[in-house]
Amino acid sequence: MNFRNAPQPIPYQGSKRQQVPVILGCLPKDVATLWEPFVGSGAVTIGAAAKCAAQAHVVGDSLEPLIGIWDLMLHCPDELCDRYEILWNAQLDDPRAYYDRVRDEFNEEKDPAKLLYLIARCVKNAVRFNAEGSFNQSPDKRRLGMRPALLRERVRQVNALLAGKATARAGDYSAALEAARPRDVVYMDPPYMGVSKARDSRYHQGLDYDRFVGLLAAANDRGVSYLVSFDGRCGTRSYGPGLPDDLELKKIEVHVGRSSQATLNGRSDETVESLYLSPALTRRLAASPVAQAKSISVRSPPQSSQLAVFDGR
């Protein structure tokens, strides 16, 4: 399977699917376990599995029902798809009223299949929560979500890639940093600081910047290899602060082109996101054949973009 076209059963706003070639280009050849503790849709894990870029995988997230989706994909894929299909078909008479009912039920039960239905149906596939921790995103009135047959195909493809090679764990990202061994790599994609503070708690769990930086510093002391997708900008607008210089991280700017919204509005603002590599990872790459790569091309509607990758310098 071509890792650039790897299946994505969980449609998730903020997915790094477009950047997977860049991120995988920053992995050494000898990865034992790839950890993704802010897994979301798992684009990096799925892409890495399709490329056989790691011997094993651990996916994690603090949103427990999301890990429930992953656990079912890994161990009971048809059960997940059957439950999703029942929910999808039941909405057809009155999609809006049914969505609201499933949302209320999910907030009470935390059923993974219902979360998958809500993600597939909600506006921009953007998972949002209120200050009380309840899922509160509205449905997209223009569509009914991924069709069950397509979902089943993608879930089965992910199961074929990862079954027996991956583990799903609910919990804090710190566990991955603490458990990672010398030949492992931890990839982290935490919420943007600009939209995850207490005043705007749209994510299940925000990010404590000082704690995050402290944990990265401790991981550096232990020689942990990690990558972080963190801050970004679009035109003159920045998405949160960068990571501090004293962590001695290598920063790569990933040029992802214009957003679809900018294109619709006739703007030329380019989105640039930052990818940080830990000192231990940089040292591993400097001694690896992958370090010879200079850039990688990906096709991203509406245009192709050149995305810089690690160059060994």
- Rounded to 5°, the CA angle 26-156-204 comes to 65
Question: For the chain, what percentages of helix, strand and coil (3-state, to nearest 5) are there?
Answer: 40, 20, 40
According to the model, what pLDDT value does residue 268 have? 60
The DSSP annotation for 209-221 comes to HHHHHHHHHHHHH
List the pLDDT tens digit at each of the 313 positions of the chain: 666 678 999 998 877 888 999 999 999 999 999 999 999 999 999 999 999 999 999 999 999 999 999 999 999 999 999 999 999 999 999 999 999 999 999 999 999 999 999 999 999 999 999 988 999 999 999 999 999 999 999 999 999 999 999 999 999 999 999 999 999 999 999 986 544 444 444 445 679 999 999 999 999 999 999 999 998 777 677 777 889 999 999 999 888 766 544 544 555 677 888 999 999 999 999 987 554 444 333 333 333 334 444 444 3
Query: Residue 221 and residue 31: Cα distance in Å, rounded?
Result: 20
* Identity of the residue numbered 4: R
* Identity of the residue numbered 165: K
Domains of the chain, start order: 3-62+171-308 (3.40.50.150), 72-150 (1.10.1020.10)
According to the model, what pLDDT value does residue 299 have? 33
According to the model, what pLDDT value does residue 266 have? 56
Query: CB burial class (10 A; 0-12, 13-18, 19+) of residue 297?
Result: exposed
According to the model, what pLDDT value does residue 310 have? 46
